[in-house]
Amino acid sequence: MTLANTQPATKEHDEPALSAQPVPTHPERRAAPRPSPRTWETPPVPVPAPHLDDYQAIVGAAELDELRFLAREVKGKTVKMVNSTAVGGGVAEMLNRLVPMLGELEVTTHWDVMTGGNDFFEVTKAFHNALHGSEYELTKAAREIFLAYNEQNRQRMQFPEDMVVIHDPQPAALIAARKDSHARWVWRCHIDLSNPNPQVWGLLRPFIEQYDAAIFSSQSFARQLPIPQYLFYPCIDPLSEKNKEIEESFVQKVCDEFGVDRTRPIVTQVSRFDRLKDPVGVVQAFKLARKYVDCQLVLAGGGASDDPEGAVVLKEVKEAAGDDRDIIILDLPPWCALEINALQRASTIVVQKSIKEGFGLTVTEALWKGKPTIAGAVGGIPNQIIHKLTGMLVHSVEGCAYQIRYLLTHPEFAAQLGRNGQAHVKENFLMTTNVRRWLLLLRILVRDRG
């Protein structure tokens, strides 16, 4: 892997900065001493990436043999991935695992990161929101900043590979380099384009049409384009800190530390404090459900310390929770993957009551852990949750409350949902499936072209 990053993004995919201790919602719990207070100031040392063989226990030898066969077919071909940030954010996280795995399969994959000043990342952040449907007036200055930094990067980068994959809108105009390259060019769009701002999409579209193919995360994100469009679901790594098997004693330790009582049912939502995740709606649903069933609610997320809107949402959530002893609100820094893993595993039910969603990888994580999951029927969530088969889809606070009650009082049905959900992730949303898709695409676009 080569990483040519002279000035990585500072804004686009930033994760929340450090946060303080978990925030209890009621005075009693706030006052209670914690047995082993954590120091959140220092992120842990990154764990080395696993090898392909490490996945055998999870997906089976036959699955890995198929990957190796597909890889043999494209051995010697080279790939370049270009995105806009080396650290933080789902794309970088995915590339951090994908690039070495393709390398292990002898498909040499280079990863270059777009460079740019804060003005560029401010513009592309606005583009990002506009492509998600926000109001935005595209100015001449914004257009020029976007094009100038793309041109600067085009001159800096070289594209001798067989396939070039450009991730998301920020580097989309690098397609201008195509005329000097023999590569097949692919645009990998990770964002929801179902309702894009017409001005921003109007700027991007002529570039996208020059690619050989586009990849989207959901059928509903695709656009009418004159190029082939493929569906690559986002994926999780079953061996990552957030998803790997962990010791039961660690799960207990985390619950003890956060004041979660494992003798009673636990309903959990893991999300940034963002209105689109509807944490206040989750509190309301929990309160409605608890009239009939005993349970606790854990809201674990981040984003309140560096994001002014996140802080406002956290305040709203705390107000909605009031002094309820059974609502535990945790504002965690982004490197608490193991703690999130433990909380998900300790949960009886996981909720993701989003109002708008990209794909919803927290749903994937919960399903992978075999948890009965209730989620809003938005974005890519219906690809993961087939109602009543792999989880429960809801459209309202009341619907969410009802499903919490139902699943807590029908544990066998809930367990079956959990088993189906886990199998669904194993078949469709794991990193190994993602590697398979990239190898297939390389074969289709490059090898079969001759």
Report the interface residues with other proteins, using CB under 8 A.
60-63, 65-66, 69-70, 73, 216, 219-220, 222, 224, 228-231, 377, 382, 386-390, 419-420, 423-424, 426-428, 436-437, 440-441, 443-444
Residue 382 beta carbon to other proteins: minimum distance, rounded to whole angstroms: 7
Comparing CB distances to other proteins, the nearer of 11 and 436 is 436
Residue 185 beta carbon to other proteins: minimum distance, rounded to whole angstroms: 17
Residues 6+ apart with CB under 8 A from 293: 265, 404, 405, 408, 409
Residue 4 beta carbon to other proteins: minimum distance, rounded to whole angstroms: 29
Residue 273 has a CB neighbour count (10 Å cut-off) of 27
Residue 130 beta carbon to other proteins: minimum distance, rounded to whole angstroms: 22
H helical segments located in 105-247? 118-131, 140-156, 198-208
What is the Cα gyration radius of the chain? 22
Residue 188 beta carbon to other proteins: minimum distance, rounded to whole angstroms: 14
Residue 213 beta carbon to other proteins: minimum distance, rounded to whole angstroms: 9
Fill in the amino acid letter for 374.
Answer: I
Residues 6+ apart with CB under 8 A from 416: none
Q: Rounded to whole angstroms, what are the CA distances from 99 to 82, 103, 183?
A: 11, 6, 18
Closest CA to 406 of 386, 426, 387, 392: 392
Comparing CB distances to other proteins, the nearer of 66 and 151 is 66
Residues 6+ apart with CB under 8 A from 114: 9, 82, 83, 84, 149, 153, 170, 171
Phi, psi of 220 (to 5 degrees): -75, -10
Residue 59 beta carbon to other proteins: minimum distance, rounded to whole angstroms: 9
Comparing CB distances to other proteins, the nearer of 264 and 449 is 449
Residue 144 beta carbon to other proteins: minimum distance, rounded to whole angstroms: 33
Cα 397 to Cα 282: distance, rounded to the nearest angstrom: 7
Residue 24 has a CB neighbour count (10 Å cut-off) of 21
Residue 186 beta carbon to other proteins: minimum distance, rounded to whole angstroms: 12
Comparing CB distances to other proteins, the nearer of 152 and 428 is 428
Comparing CB distances to other proteins, the nearer of 154 and 426 is 426
Cα 358 to Cα 193: distance, rounded to the nearest angstrom: 10
Comparing CB distances to other proteins, the nearer of 29 and 205 is 205
DSSP characters over 282-318: HHHHHHHHHTTS--EEEEEE--TTT-HHHHHHHHHHH
Comparing CB distances to other proteins, the nearer of 230 and 335 is 230
Helix, strand, coil shares of the chain, percent, nearest 5, are: 45, 15, 40
Fill in the amino acid letter for 202.
Answer: G
Comparing CB distances to other proteins, the nearer of 158 and 229 is 229
Comparing CB distances to other proteins, the nearer of 300 and 435 is 435
